[in-house]
Amino acid sequence: MKRIVLKSKIHRATITDTNVDYDGSLTLDGVLMREANLIPYEQIQVYNITNGERFTTYLIKGKDNSGEVVVNGAAAKKANSGDKVIIVAYATMDEDEMDFFVPRVLLVDDQNKITSR
């Protein structure tokens, strides 16, 4: 049996900008992507802690150590600069794969710098 499990999570990231006039996606600091085991164009879920909105999009790699978390395209109407969000990605695994898998979970501060892995 295959199950969908948490693969990556960035907890309490701060939205740094929104851009409704962009084709879509979420731009994310390259260091956060690497440390969270995320890749460009990977599908993600974004859960907005501030306003309760949830949306699905994909990632675009931002500049390393920039702290940027930019919501682009139509999803920009679901977030504002300063909002706190949870960014997650899931993976499909066989039950035997799950025995050894540990999701990558990052906690970040208000500037989106990693405080805990």
Give the residue numbers marked as catalytic. 25, 58
In the structure encoding, which two tokens stand for residue 113, read together? 């710098």
Measure CA 15 to chain center: 11
**Rounded CA gap, 103 and 35, in Å?**
11
